[in-house]
Amino acid sequence: MIKAENLFFSYTGSSPYVLDGIDLEIRDGEYVSVVGENGSGKSTLMRLILNFIKPTSGSIVPQTKRIGYVPQKNDFSNSSFPITVYEVLNSYRRLLKIKNKDIITEALEQVGLLSVKGSLMGTLSGGQSQKIRIARALMGNPDLLILDEPSTGVDIGSQKEIYSFLKKINKENGITVVSVEHNLNAAISNSTLIYHLTCGQGHLCTPQQYTDEFMKNGGKSNDNIQL
Ligand SMILES: Nc1ncnc2c1ncn2[C@@H]1O[C@H](COP(=O)(O)OP(=O)(O)OP(=O)(O)O)[C@@H](O)[C@H]1O
Do 126 and 159 fall into the same domain? no
43 Cβ inside 6 Å of ligand 1: yes
Neighbours of 87 (CB within 10 A): 14
18 Cβ inside 6 Å of ligand 1: yes
DSSP string, 128-160: HHHHHHHHHHHTT--SEEEEE-TTTT--HHHHH
User: How far is it, in rounded angstroms, from Cα 21 to Cα 65?
Assistant: 24
> What confidence tens digit (pLDDT) does each residue in 69-91 have?
999 876 665 666 789 999 999 99
In a domain, 206, yes or no: yes
The pLDDT confidence band at residue 224, using thresholds 50, 70 and 90, is very low
pLDDT value of residue 147? 96
Identify the CA nearest to 79 among candidates 124, 132, 136, 43: 124
202 Cβ inside 6 Å of ligand 1: no
Confidence (pTM): 0.92
The pLDDT confidence band at residue 172, using thresholds 50, 70 and 90, is very high
Q: Looking at the 3D structure of the chain, how many domains does it have?
A: 2
In a domain, 70, yes or no: no
Do 105 and 215 fall into the same domain? no
Is the ipTM above a cut-off of 0.95? yes
Do 49 and 149 fall into the same domain? yes
Q: Which of 9, 17, 33, 40 to mutate to test the pocket of ligand 1 (most atoms within 8 A of CB)?
A: 40
197 three-state secondary structure: strand
**The residue count for the chain:** 227
Half-sphere exposure of 115 (CA within 13 A, CB side): 3
Quote the domain boundaries for residue 118.
Answer: 77-141
